[in-house]
A = this chain, B = another copy of it.
Amino acid sequence: MAVQTLPFGTLIAVDRQSAIPIFRQIANSLIKLIRKGKIKPGYQLPATRDMASMLKLNRTTIVAAYEEMQAQGWLEVIKRKGNFVAQHLPVTSPKSFEASTQERLLSLDQKIFYRQIAVPQPLTRQLKPYQMMINDGYPDARIAPLDLIVDRYKFLSGRTNVHNRLLADGSKGSNLLRTELAHFLSKTRALDITPEQVLITHGAQSAISIAASMILQPGSTVVVGDLNYPLADRLFEQQGAKLIKVKVDHNGIDIDEIENICKQSVPSLLYIVPHHHHPTTVTLSAERRNKLLDIIRRYRLPVIEDDYDYDFHYENAPILPLASAEHDNFVLYIGSISKTLSPTVRLGYLIGAEDFIWQASKLKQVLDIRGDVLFEESVGHLFNSGEMQRHLRRSVKLYKSRRDEFCEILNSSLGDHAKFNVPNGGMAVWTLFDPGYSIPQLSERLAAQGIYLNDGSIYKYKDDTNGMRLGFASLNTNEMQSFAHTLKKSR
């Protein structure tokens, strides 16, 4: 090598799995070294050939990296001499101001105070890009008509004045989507609502979050199922509320127990998932719904009815929501469009009395102004053209057959090691494993095959519950077979 140089082979790490092209990674690493002062202006970088051999990469990759740095102004190429770190670095172009050297009066380890969020181990930190994912009940994004939505988005974005018209729809969300939803919900769920009673949100979770924020304050009490959807529990706790847990059996949440609680002191809120309760997938029976409606009206008990799974019911017709009966505006109804299209799409809705929704839209304005109204409008068009309804019918048919296929696979692969009931709807099977069956070990074995399965720590519902929701809707036959293969070996 012509010049004594830094150990770039160890200084620069390349991640071949990354979405960032390798030449960009190299350029970024070098820029970082320059910014940190480890490489000074005027420093001569190794020739591309030398750098390539140090990093064990193709020379063209290094050429591209240097060109990138040159384009950004970090590198100067002097003909027949080489590549030098620029004398005037691009960072100095904005007007700078010198940080004062005044001594600090307080110790350095006194840090900014901020909340520690009590999500035991979130869904996502441990995830690597797997070949395939066993989730806890997502739709199959591959069959969703996302292309139609973005075609419409593109069409609308090019039209004069569309943006102004959509901004005029305000924090509640696109008028078209709200109108279509009011119509769709009235047709499918007998909800007697106007578009002014619909708030579009970033998914059902955001709808729960806004509804709860409107009602809860520190010290409030929330009745939830035992077991319950963990992210709802964490959300209510986050808002300072105390959870009161009520048993859930094969007919849903225990209504008598709710009444007993109300007799002592009416809670601030009841959260229920009437179709396919999370995690156990049971449906709240019609008889219990009647009883619950009485309690709601008698005790003036505010309810969040999270009915995200209503459209995916396979055996018989779904039971109408509480929100479709007379409830004196005490029932807030929540649904999800993410569950119909793709978990990457964030769209849900909150239904309530007109003034409640008006106030909630003001809360939404303060929290994040509005949603992506152009995207919402495009989804509204999908309803309007009937494509969404067709997609739903196709999905229900497909997911029903996937459920059957998946349950057969579970039966033949797990044998006596697990119990489950075939769910009559939804996208997941609630599977209770033997106490001796190790979910973390299964997770590891699957990971070795490129299949992601949560190791059980996210949905550690209770210490004595060795259970897990296994999502089937997003898996095709091949994927189910791969899963079965590893399951069998894990017995």
Residues of A within 8 A of B (CB): 18-20, 24, 28, 31-32, 35-36, 72, 90-91, 93-100, 102, 104-106, 108, 110-117, 119, 122-125, 127-133, 135, 141-142, 144, 146-147, 150-151, 153-154, 157-158, 160-161, 163-172, 175-176, 179, 183, 186-190, 192, 201-203, 205-206, 209, 213-215, 218, 231, 234-235, 238, 286-287, 289-290, 293-294, 297-300, 302, 316-320, 325-326, 328-330, 342-346, 353, 356, 358-359, 361-363, 365-375, 377, 380, 384, 452
Across the interface, which residues of B come within 8 angstroms of A172, CB to CB?
124
Q: Are A372 and B359 CB-contacts (below 8 A) given A128-B168, A187-B90?
A: no
**Contact, CB under 8 Å: B161 / A154:** no
Across the interface, which residues of B come within 8 angstroms of A302, CB to CB?
112-113
Across the interface, which residues of B come within 8 angstroms of A111, CB to CB?
328-329
**Contact, CB under 8 Å: A97 / B372:** no
Q: Which of B117, B362, B370 contacts A366 (CB 8 A)?
A: B117
Distance between Cα atoms of A127 and B469 in the complex (Å): 46
**Contact, CB under 8 Å: B361 / A122:** yes
A362 to chain B, nearest CB (A): 4
Across the interface, which residues of B come within 8 angstroms of A35, CB to CB?
186, 190, 192
Q: Are A127 and B170 CB-contacts (below 8 A) given A94-B190, A343-B163, A368-B206?
A: yes
Distance between Cα atoms of A358 and B114 in the complex (Å): 12
Distance between Cα atoms of A304 and B234 in the complex (Å): 26
Closest to A116 in B: B359
**Contact, CB under 8 Å: B368 / A114:** no
Across the interface, which residues of B come within 8 angstroms of A318, CB to CB?
94-95
Q: Which of B106, B125, B151 contacts A298 (CB 8 A)?
A: B106
Across the interface, which residues of B come within 8 angstroms of A343, CB to CB?
163, 167, 369
**Contact, CB under 8 Å: B206 / A102:** no
Distance between Cα atoms of A157 and B146 in the complex (Å): 7
Known: A123-B365, A150-B150, A218-B218. 19 other contacts (CB 8 A): A19-B176, A19-B377, A19-B380, A95-B318, A95-B319, A97-B290, A99-B293, A100-B293, A100-B294, A112-B300, A114-B359, A117-B359, A124-B169, A206-B369, A209-B368, A238-B366, A344-B372, A346-B370, A372-B372
